[in-house]
């Protein structure tokens, strides 16, 4: 089992590829099928944000070892326009692209830890971690 | 990935067989609406049993399909959402409001038959 997988995100096909790789990694690591579905869904949303707002970027999936447990860390990174108001973007119902506007708050609910760093015109990095219970 | 659409009497049955990209979903939406018009269908079943992820785009596209078909005077039932997929959808905030859902193909067909009898 690889401990780190990097998936370039340039098109809607890459969204499917990234979430399938994430699911495989989660299952290989011993996550339940339900948790693997949560991870795959989170990856799908993060990859979609990259394609929608930044056109291209990458998702890195890393196996992480805590003191008592293992987890998967998802890092979605792009050099897109950035998010001017992160607090607003994390509120349910907010979207600038006419989508459902549930992307980021929804993803936050799917995982255990969630962090976002964004700089206007520099890009956005979302880091999400799911721990194995 | 093409989604096969079968005609069964007044109904259409579309079975999603593998993961769909956004482009596949939009193609499916177009193909399904065309078939509804061509066949003058009363009802449509979209079977998503084999989908292992339903994200915001897929969910929105299914809702749009159901709305378009309703404007044609027909009913749509989404069947076979896996329990784990349902759990993830709710966490994500995707509720498929105003879209009929049923456990499986059989229940979906029963739902459509009941609807078409009550409007007949």
Q: In chain B, whose CA is at the least distance from the CA of A110?
A: B91
Record the tokens describing residue A70, joined without a space. Answer: 């293992």
What confidence score (pLDDT) does residue A93 get? 62
Looking at the complex, does the CB of residue A130 fall below 8 Å from at least one CB of chain B? Answer: no
With an 8 Å Cβ cutoff, are B60 and A99 in contact? yes
CATH of A4-131, one of 3.20.20.80, 3.40.50.970, 3.30.565.10, 3.40.605.10: 3.30.565.10
* B11-15, strands of its sheet edge to edge: B5-8, B11-15, B43-47, B75-79, B100-102
pLDDT surpassing 50 at residue A102:
no
Task: Give me the mean pLDDT over the B55-64 stretch.
Answer: 94
Domain ranges of chain B: 5-119
Inter-chain touch A100–B88, beta carbons under 8 Å:
no
CATH topology of domain B5-119: Transcription Regulator spoIIAA (3.30.750)
Sole residue written with tokens 């449509």: B44
Question: For residue A66, is pLDDT > 90?
Answer: no
Q: Which residue(s) pair with B8 in the sheet?
A: B11
Q: Are B81 and B107 in contact (CB under 8 A)?
A: no
In chain A, domain spans:
4-131
Q: What is the pLDDT of residue B118?
A: 81
CA separation for the pair B94, B63 (Å, rounded): 10
Task: Find tokens 């950035």 and name the residue.
Answer: A82
Contact B91 A110 (CB under 8 A): yes
Mean pLDDT of all residues in A104-127: 93
Tell me how far apart the alpha carbons of residues A46 and A103 are, in angstroms, rounded to a whole number. Answer: 8
B residues 41-70 lying closer than 8 A (beta carbon) to A: 52-57, 59-60
Q: Residue A125 pairs with which residues in a beta bridge?
A: A77, A117
Looking at the predicted structure, is the pLDDT value of residue B15 above 80?
yes
The answer to which of A58-67, A87-96, B35-44, B97-106 has the lowest mean pLDDT is A87-96
The minimum CA-CA distance between B91 and chain A, rounded to whole Å, is: 6
CA B41 to chain A, closest CA, distance in angstroms equals 29
Exposure letters A92-125 (e unless 16+ CB within 10 A, then b): eeeeeeeebbbbbbbbbbbbeebebebeeeebbb
Average pLDDT across chain B, whole number: 94
Q: Residue B20: its chain A contacts at CB < 8 A?
A: 16
pLDDT 10s digits, A8-30: 999 999 999 999 999 999 999 99
Q: A100 falls in which pLDDT band (50, 70, 90)?
A: very low
Predicted local distance difference test score (pLDDT) of residue A95: 52
Tokens describing residue B94? 């995707």
H/E stretch holding A104 reads helix A103-110
- Gap from A44 CA to chain B (nearest CA, Å): 7
pTM (2 decimals)? Answer: 0.92
Size of interface A-B (CB pairs under 8 A): 74
């Amino acid at each position: 089992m690889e401990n780190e997988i990097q998936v370039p995100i340039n098109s809607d096909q890459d969204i499917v590829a990234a979430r399938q790789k994430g699911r495989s990694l989660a299952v290989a690591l011993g996550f339940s099928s339900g948790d693997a579905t949560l991870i795959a869904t989170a990856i799908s949303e993060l990859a979609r944000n990259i394609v929608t707002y930044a056109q291209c970027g990458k998702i890195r999936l890393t196996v992480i070892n805590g003191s008592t447990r293992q987890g998967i860390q998802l890092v979605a990174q792009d050099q897109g326009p950035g998010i001017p108001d992160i607090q607003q973007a994390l509120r349910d119902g907010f979207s600038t692209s006419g989508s459902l506007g549930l992307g980021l708050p929804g993803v936050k609910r799917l995982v255990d830890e969630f962090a976002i760093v964004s700089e206007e015109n520099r890009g956005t990095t979302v880091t999400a971690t799911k721990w194995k219970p | 990935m093409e989604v096969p659409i079968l005609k069964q009497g007044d109904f259409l049955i579309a079975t999603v067989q593998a993961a769909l990209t956004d482009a596949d979903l939009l193609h499916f939406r177009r193909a399904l609406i065309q078939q509804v018009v061509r066949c003058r269908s009363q009802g449509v079943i979209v079977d998503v049993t084999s989908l292992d992820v339903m994200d915001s785009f897929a969910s929105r596209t299914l809702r749009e399909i159901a709305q378009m078909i309703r404007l044609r005077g027909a009913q749509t039932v989404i069947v076979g959402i896996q329990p784990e997929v349902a759990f993830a959808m709710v966490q994500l905030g995707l509720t498929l409001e105003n879209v009929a859902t049923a456990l499986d193909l059989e229940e979906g067909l029963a739902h459509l038959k009941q609807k078409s009898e009550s409007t007949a």
